[in-house]
């Protein structure tokens, strides 16, 4: 099976601290994957590397059918190539309306001149309305996104990601700060999304990961410790050691 994203032998060091150590990871075109690991395991750094925010010291990151290297591309180019990222804390543009936020994210030409002369067509407005409805913000289109609740902002951000139509979604702790009902909604949405694209979820919350019911990758000290179903990895003695802190070293 050909892979959508293939990370191999990647290492990165910050001031002598090895955040990622010879990490290899790959994901197929329509797959849901959860990444778990204790604090400092390198989960966020891994996302930074894939999205171009951090450059690794060594290793390869290959993307898509043509196995393009992501390492020589800027953040914006990687995003345009089809990698979407959702941050841990909701980052929406609070000063602008929900509709503006979605319109900005909508897949379209991204160059300054193209954007300057771009004007929304009826299809764009209906797509924005559709996306807003999908994430439960259908009646909040004209509101400033700064007025939304924490959960609603998370939703708006997911809506913006959908508007980008990415092939790979990197989602950082989507359930943090959400109510139970919101979590269930999030789970359903992520599972649904993974039918048509690759979704990588970084999560602390085991209960949430269990609900996603997908393959799990455990990171520890910057490399993959175990991979498999959640039951499989939680039976792994090394994983138990790391999570419960009974390290023998």
Binding site for another protein (CB under 8 A): 51, 53, 74-77, 79-80, 84-85, 87, 91, 93-96, 100, 103-105, 110-113, 115-116, 118-120, 122, 125, 139-140, 142-143, 147, 160, 164
β-partners of residue 11 are 58
DSSP conformation class of 153: H
**Cβ(166)–Cβ(84) under 8 Å?**
yes
The residue among 165 and 192 lying less far from another protein, judged by its C-beta, is 165
Q: Tell me if residue 161 falls in helix, strand or coil.
A: helix
The residue among 31 and 157 lying less far from another protein, judged by its C-beta, is 157
**In the bound complex, what is the minimum distance in angstroms from residue 117's beta carbon to another protein?**
9
**In the bound complex, what is the minimum distance in angstroms from residue 93's beta carbon to another protein?**
5
Q: How far is CA 70 from the centre of its chain?
A: 16
**Cβ(233)–Cβ(239) under 8 Å?**
yes
The residue among 76 and 240 lying less far from another protein, judged by its C-beta, is 76
- Rounded to whole angstroms, the Cα distance separating 94 from 129 reads 19
Element (H, E) at 127: helix 122-134
The residue among 50 and 193 lying less far from another protein, judged by its C-beta, is 50
- Rounded to whole angstroms, the Cα distance separating 27 from 197 reads 10
Written as six digits, the tokens of 80 are 């345009």
């Amino acid at each position: 099976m050909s892979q959508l994203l293939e990370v191999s032998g990647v290492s990165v060091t910050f001031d002598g601290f090895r955040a990622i150590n010879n990490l290899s990871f790959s994901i197929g075109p329509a797959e849901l994957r959860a990444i778990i690991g204790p604090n400092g395991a390198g989960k966020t750094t891994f996302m930074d590397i894939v999205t171009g925010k951090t450059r690794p010291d060594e290793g390869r990151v290959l993307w898509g059918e043509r196995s393009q290297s992501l390492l020589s591309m800027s953040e914006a180019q990687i995003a345009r190539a089809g990698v979407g990222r959702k941050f841990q804390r909701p980052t929406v543009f609070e000063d602008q309306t929900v509709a503006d936020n979605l319109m900005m994210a909508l897949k379209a030409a991204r160059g300054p001149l193209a954007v300057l002369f771009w004007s929304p067509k009826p299809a764009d407005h209906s797509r924005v309305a559709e996306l807003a409805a999908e994430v439960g913000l259908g009646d909040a289109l004209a509101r400033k996104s700064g007025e939304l609740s924490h959960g609603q902002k998370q939703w708006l951000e997911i809506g913006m990601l959908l508007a980008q139509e990415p092939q790979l979604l990197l989602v950082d702790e989507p359930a943090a700060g959400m109510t139970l009902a919101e979590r269930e909604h999030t789970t359903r949405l992520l599972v649904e999304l993974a039918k048509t694209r690759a979704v990588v979820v970084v999560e602390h919350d085991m209960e949430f990961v269990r609900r996603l019911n997908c393959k799990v990758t455990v990171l520890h000290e910057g490399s993959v410790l175990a991979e498999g179903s959640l039951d499989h990895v939680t039976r792994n003695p090394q994983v138990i050691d790391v999570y419960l802190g009974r390290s023998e070293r």
